[in-house]
Structure 1
Amino acid sequence: MKIKFLGGAGTVTGSKTLVESNGIRILIDCGQFQGIKPLRELNWEPLPILPNTIDFVLLTHGHLDHCGWLPRLVNQGFEGKIYCTSPTKDVTKLILLDSAKIQEEEAERANKEQFSKHEKAEPLYDLAQTEKVFPLFRVIQPNEEVQLDAEISATFRNAGHIIGACSIELKLENKTLVFSGDIGRDDDVLMYAPTKPTTADYIFLESTYGNRIHPEEDVKLSLETYINNAFQMEGTVIIPSFAVERAQSLMYLLWQLKKEDRIPNIPYVIDTPMGISVLEVFTNNKKWHKLSENDCIEMCRMFTMNTDYQETINTIFDKQPKVVIAASGMITGGRVLSYLERYIGLPETTVIMVGYQAEGTRGRKLLEGATELKIYGKYYPVLAKVLEIEGLSAHGDQNDLLNWLSDLKTKPKKVFLVHGENQPADELRIKIQEKYGFDCSVPMMGQGLEL
């Protein structure tokens, strides 16, 4: 059996792991690279194998760094089946269509305003190419073993990270391989705790927060304090947010604060059409999360939901204090850029970062104290307050990741730490070896091995 790490190794983006066994090729996730330019440029490179030789894609969940390269894969010849859970299928559709639209718009804008270094800026993929992905989806139920081939089966188990997210247990050649996908937190606001593996010969474990312990932070108190402080300064609060799970978690917490009369009676705006669409996915998949139908309805009533871009423009130029949740979470694109163009240079503005910020993203730059921000080829001075709430991360921290390994009945032959930058992955490697004595390594991008 051969394994090749085509992405998500040494970085938290572009997750792609190839498994080859008896002439069958399986790709675990098919993510897009984000962040620094050398990583983003990898999205334009062909895979080291022909996409038409891949038989299956198994999708752990619908975030762009796990599904965002599917249109390229299909456009380059992949015709196999894409297996995932029902919510993952719905979320992936929303995310890919949104991504394609942003790619098209940004290429068009770059050509119009001539800030591209290329003679003609092209989108990584367009809406027409994206539509070709969807007929290949095959929905599977969690905890049900699915035969991919006569001697290969897969079982998806809840990973808690976002709605529909799963770890994948792959059985082949009398071995069990477990791919964690992204592991959620044991005490998430909306998601249930991840299901821990009990048997595995080889484990491929994410390590995003492999060197971090989430602070014992009262997230509601932080939100309350930051919003009230901004209101006293007559400023706007902008929260760049991932459209899936994070936006809904924020809505839930703000709704709770409003019910408790802890935050002011000002407009609360959701400006992510995809985030609004995800609310429907929550409504249609009640067994995947903790929100009741009534909670969902009541929570949504509190928010102004912008779908049309004219509504975004109206909100941007509305001078009254307000709280805006807008995608994208790492400020790599989306409507949050339009808000920051106007508000990042105002000292009364508060920007609250609420999730992981990959290397090279605008979000990471803001957290690291950038004094200016480049948006659509122009530089804007950063005069706004930039604050962070770590307690909202949908990723498990070092303790959660260690705990996820705690139910294994027998020692795995090896644990590979993927989907993490090198330092967090290496620190987690040391912790796993100290706590469990497991043989553990951090693979490099492009590395291949035989099991």
Structure 2
Amino acid sequence: MKIKFLGGAGTVTGSKTLVESNGIRILIDCGQFQGIKPLRELNWEPLPVLPNTIDFVLLTHGHLDHCGWLPRLVNQGFEGKIYCTSPTKDITKLILLDSAKIQEEEAERANKEKFSKHEIAEPLYDLIQTEKVFPLFRVVKPNEEVMLDAEITAVFKNAGHIIGACSIELNVENKTLVFSGDIGRDDDVLMYAPVKPKKADYVFLESTYGNRIHPDEDVKLLLETYINNAFQINGTVIIPSFAVERVQSIMYLLWQLKKEDKLPDIPFIIDTPMGISVLEVFTENKNWHKLSESDCIEMCQMFTMNTDYQETINTIFDKGSKVVIAASGMLTGGRVLSYLERYIGLPETTVIIVGYQAEGTRGRKLLEGATDVKIYGKYYPVLAKILEIEGLSAHGDQNDLLNWLSELESKPQKVFLVHGENQPADELRVKVQERYGFACTVPMMGQEIEL
């Protein structure tokens, strides 16, 4: 059996792990690279194996860095089945359609305003190519065995993180391979705690926050303080958010604060059509999260939902104090950039970063103290307050990741640390070896191993 790390190794994006056994090829996740240019350019490169030779894709969840390369895979010849949970199917559709739309719009804008280095800017994939992915989906239920082949089975188990997210237990050649996907937190606001694996010969564990412990901070108090401070100077609060789970978590916390009469009477705006659509997925999948239907309805009534872009324009030019939650979470695209163009240069603006920011993204640059930011080919001075609330991350921290391994009944032959930058992954490697004595390694991008 061969394992090849095609993405999500040495980086937090582009997750793709290829499993090859007796002529069967299985791709665990099919993510898009984000962040620094050398990584983004990998999205344009062909896979080292022909897509038409891959039999199955197993999706852990619907975030772009785990599903965002599927249209390219299908466009280049993949005709197999894509297995995932029902919420992941719905989320992936929303994510891919939104991604294709943004890429088409940005290519069109680059050509119109001539800020691309290419003679003709093209999208990575378009809406027509994206639609070809959807007929290949096959929905699986958590904890139920799926027969991929006569001797290969898979079981999906809840991983927390976002709605529908699962770890995958792959049984092949009498070995059990466990792929964590992204692990959520035991005390998440909306998601249930991740299910810990009981047995594994080999573990492929994410390491996004492998070197960090989430601070024990009062997230609600921070939101209350930041918003009220902005209100005092008639400022606007912009919260760049991942449309899936993060938007809903922030909505929930703000709704709780509003019920406690701790927030000013100003507009609270959701400006991410995909985030609004995700609310429907929450309503249709009540067993995947902690929110009741009545809570969901009451929560939504607090917010103005912008769907049409003209509503975005009206909100941008509204001079009053307001709180805007908009995608994308790492400021790599989406409507949040339209807000930044107008507001990032105003000292009364507050930008609250609430999720992981990959290397090279605008969000990471702002956190690192950038004095200007490039948006659609133009530079804007950063005069706004840039604040961070780490406690809102949907990723487990070092303790969560270590605890996820705690119920293994016997020692795995090896633990591979993936989906993390090199330093966090290596620090987690040391901790895994110290706590459990497991053989642990950090694979490199493109590396192939035999099990």
What range describes the TM-score normalised by the shorter chain of this pair? over 0.9
Asked if 1:202 is matched to 2:202, the reply is yes
Asked if 1:47 is matched to 2:43, the reply is no
Describe the superposition over 1:53-112 as per-residue Cα deviations: whole angstroms up to 9, x where unpaired.
Answer: 000000000000000000000000000000000000000000000000000000000000
1: distance between equivalents of 2:319 and 2:86? 41
Tell me which amino acid in the other structure corresponds to 2:180: S
Q: CA deviation at 1:315?
A: 0.2
2: distance between equivalents of 1:27 and 1:265? 49
Asked if 1:76 is matched to 2:89, the reply is no
SS in structure 2 at match of 1:60: coil
2: distance between equivalents of 1:130 and 1:410? 42
How many corresponding residue pairs? Answer: 451
Q: CA deviation at 1:337?
A: 0.1
Task: Give ranges in structure 1 of 5+ residues lacking alignment.
Answer: none
Asked if 1:403 is matched to 2:403, the reply is yes
Describe the superposition over 1:245-286 as per-residue Cα deviations: whole angstroms up to 9, x where unpaired.
Answer: 000000000000000000101000000000000000000000
The equivalent residue for 1:168 is: 168
RMSD over aligned CA atoms reads: 0.2
Q: CA deviation at 1:32?
A: 0.0
SS in structure 1 at match of 2:203: strand
Question: If the length of structure 1 is used for normalisation, what is the TM-score?
Answer: 1.00
The equivalent residue for 1:8 is: 8
The equivalent residue for 2:22 is: 22
Tell me which amino acid in the other structure corresponds to 2:228: N
Tell me which amino acid in the other structure corresponds to 1:158: N
The equivalent residue for 2:261 is: 261
2: distance between equivalents of 1:185 and 1:410? 24
Q: CA deviation at 1:334?
A: 0.1
The equivalent residue for 1:361 is: 361
Q: CA deviation at 1:14?
A: 0.1
Asked if 1:307 is matched to 2:307, the reply is yes
The equivalent residue for 2:144 is: 144
The equivalent residue for 1:133 is: 133
1:54-73 equivalence runs, <5 A? 54-73=54-73
SS in structure 2 at match of 1:315: helix
The equivalent residue for 1:418 is: 418
Tell me which amino acid in the other structure corresponds to 2:170: L
Q: CA deviation at 1:240?
A: 0.3
Q: CA deviation at 1:383?
A: 0.2
SS in structure 2 at match of 1:444: coil
SS in structure 1 at match of 2:91: helix
1:81-230 equivalence runs, <5 A? 81-230=81-230
Q: CA deviation at 1:233?
A: 0.8
2: distance between equivalents of 1:308 and 1:319? 20
The equivalent residue for 2:283 is: 283
SS in structure 1 at match of 2:3: strand
Tell me which amino acid in the other structure corresponds to 1:211: N
Q: CA deviation at 1:438?
A: 0.1
Task: Give ranges in structure 2 of 5+ residues lacking alignment.
Answer: none
The equivalent residue for 1:321 is: 321
Q: CA deviation at 1:446?
A: 0.1
Tell me which amino acid in the other structure corresponds to 2:362: R
2: distance between equivalents of 1:274 and 1:198? 36
2: distance between equivalents of 1:155 and 1:409? 18
Q: CA deviation at 1:331?
A: 0.1
SS in structure 1 at match of 2:234: coil
1: distance between equivalents of 2:210 and 2:69? 25
The equivalent residue for 1:380 is: 380
Tell me which amino acid in the other structure corresponds to 1:414: K
2: distance between equivalents of 1:264 and 1:57? 47
Describe the superposition over 1:320-363 as per-residue Cα deviations: whole angstroms up to 9, x where unpaired.
Answer: 00000000000000000000000000000000000000000000
Question: If the length of structure 2 is used for normalisation, what is the TM-score?
Answer: 1.00
1: distance between equivalents of 2:176 and 2:160? 21
1:236-251 equivalence runs, <5 A? 236-251=236-251
2: distance between equivalents of 1:395 and 1:308? 31
Q: CA deviation at 1:302?
A: 0.2
1: distance between equivalents of 2:435 and 2:251? 38
Q: CA deviation at 1:300?
A: 0.1
2: distance between equivalents of 1:194 and 1:376? 39
Q: CA deviation at 1:387?
A: 0.1
2: distance between equivalents of 1:221 and 1:256? 11
**Identity of paired residues, percent?**
89
1:408-447 equivalence runs, <5 A? 408-447=408-447
Tell me which amino acid in the other structure corresponds to 1:277: S
1: distance between equivalents of 2:233 and 2:399? 38
Describe the superposition over 1:400-433 as per-residue Cα deviations: whole angstroms up to 9, x where unpaired.
Answer: 0000000000000000000000000000000000
Q: CA deviation at 1:231?
A: 0.2
Q: CA deviation at 1:17?
A: 0.1
2: distance between equivalents of 1:347 and 1:172? 57
1: distance between equivalents of 2:445 and 2:186? 29
SS in structure 2 at match of 1:266: coil
1: distance between equivalents of 2:252 and 2:63? 21
1: distance between equivalents of 2:146 and 2:137? 14
Tell me which amino acid in the other structure corresponds to 2:244: V
2: distance between equivalents of 1:33 and 1:102? 15
2: distance between equivalents of 1:155 and 1:265? 48
SS in structure 2 at match of 1:90: helix
SS in structure 2 at match of 1:217: coil
2: distance between equivalents of 1:448 and 1:233? 56
The equivalent residue for 1:296 is: 296
2: distance between equivalents of 1:123 and 1:147? 36
1: distance between equivalents of 2:424 and 2:186? 20
SS in structure 2 at match of 1:347: coil
Tell me which amino acid in the other structure corresponds to 2:411: K
